[in-house]
Amino acid sequence: MNWSELRSVFRTACMVLRAAFPSRLKRQIVVWAISVLFFAASVLAQTGDWRAVENLKPGSRVRVRTDAQRRIACSVEGATDTELFCEVHVRRSLRTSTLSIPRSEVQEVRVLPNPDQAKDAAIGAVIGAGAGATGAAINARVARGAYVFFGGLAGAGIGALIGASVPVFQVIFQRSKLIYKR
């Protein structure tokens, strides 16, 4: 197909969609979709099941909010019906201490993301290698194969560095999952 045929097919498809869905209906669909996204997260977040906390694997990183409006980031050691046991890093020190938080003081528990830096670096290296090889192939005048090889190699190195820094952004923004809320 040439461009004029594609353009006429695309115009026909757009006219069919416009006829099938009036603009008022489109707006209603968009409003419903946005409201479902906002309210679905809040409905799922309103859980009061302590068993979710008890079922956490040891070593899981969590953020606990207590009655005193303290936020504690720690690694779970375990949980019972009455307490949550966490390992907390002591500030300005390399030591850790075990903290016991009574269930009656826990307002909410959020599981923090556990980034996989090696996987992110590998993905960045693959993307960087492709971009470097493509850029080198486009700009090469002679010895295109050598340019592609070294361009891909350089792109892989830069992509791996950028990919390895992606978990830093995950830690900064920390999109956590709420598993318990009183």
Note the pLDDT tens digit of each residue in 78-117.
999 999 999 998 888 889 999 999 999 999 999 988 777 8
Q: Which two tokens stand for residue 173?
A: 């923004």
Fold adopted by 51-112: SH3 type barrels. (2.30.30)
The rounded distance, in Å, linking the Cα atoms of 13 and 19 is 10
What are the structure tokens assigned to 51, written together? Answer: 């068993």
Nearest CA-CA partner of 72 in 55, 89, 58, 53: 89
pTM assigned to the model: 0.54
DSSP category for residue 113 = P
| CA–CA gap between residue 49 and residue 53 (Å, rounded) | 8
